[in-house]
Amino acid sequence: MAAPTRARLRPEERRAQLIGIGLRLLTTRPIHEMSIDEVAAEAGISRGLLFHYFPTKRDYYVAVVRAGGDRLLLHARAPEDGAPGERVRGIVDGFVSFVQRRRDNYVAVVRAAAGGDERVLEVFEDNRRVLTDRMLDAAGVHDPTPLHRLAVRGWLAMAEEMAIGAVDDVITTTGLVDLLVSALEQVTERFTPRST
């Protein structure tokens, strides 16, 4: 819900509004074609005021991609307690449901990260590291080796690709979650005996 044009917003509301506009515009064009003037115009503020919140165009892009990643992290969470199986399933279900509910937006943020500059890419990498650690922790791998991390990163790439590509008549969300949970189990089991 966009705030009314030219409304007086508190700083944190204005920031959130500007980022929301960026996330929406990303679904229509690559990040490097997104114009700061357009964002400011949509928010009903001056270009100067936008630069008050984000000193450079790059700062703004970084904030938009980070916000997209943070939303994902908010959804892809494990229940606080529960057996490893349930905790893994909680994250996977959150991840897949999130991607599928806002597919265009998710794809746009991933493309923005890939096509962006080093700082944008770094934000994306940080997000992947957090998600990888979270998966490993939920799976009960408390002292992960580099090989564990590599395998979970690979698994994440698969999960992302399949969640984006899966449409209802091919596989249900539940079916996909089952598949990904069992693939993750295979991956972590395979490495644990060898690497400890």
Cα–Cα distance, 184 to 156 (Å, whole number): 9
Is the Cβ of residue 16 or residue 171 nearer to a copy of itself in the bound state? 171
Is the Cβ of residue 45 or residue 152 nearer to a copy of itself in the bound state? 152
Cα–Cα distance, 184 to 152 (Å, whole number): 7
Cα–Cα distance, 31 to 196 (Å, whole number): 43
**Minimum CB separation from a copy of itself for residue 145, in Å?**
8
Which residue type occupies 28? T
**Side-chain half-sphere of 188: how many Cα atoms within 13 Å?**
22
Is the Cβ of residue 14 or residue 116 nearer to a copy of itself in the bound state? 116
**Minimum CB separation from a copy of itself for residue 163, in Å?**
9
**Minimum CB separation from a copy of itself for residue 186, in Å?**
6
Would you tell me how many other CB atoms lie within 10 Å of the CB of residue 121?
Answer: 16
**Minimum CB separation from a copy of itself for residue 154, in Å?**
4
Contact residues toward a copy of itself (CB under 8 A) are: 30-33, 110-112, 114-117, 146-147, 150-151, 153-162, 165-166, 169-171, 179, 183, 186-187, 190
Q: How far lies 168's CA from each of 3, 153, 173, 175, in Å?
A: 34, 26, 8, 10
Is the Cβ of residue 36 or residue 150 nearer to a copy of itself in the bound state? 150
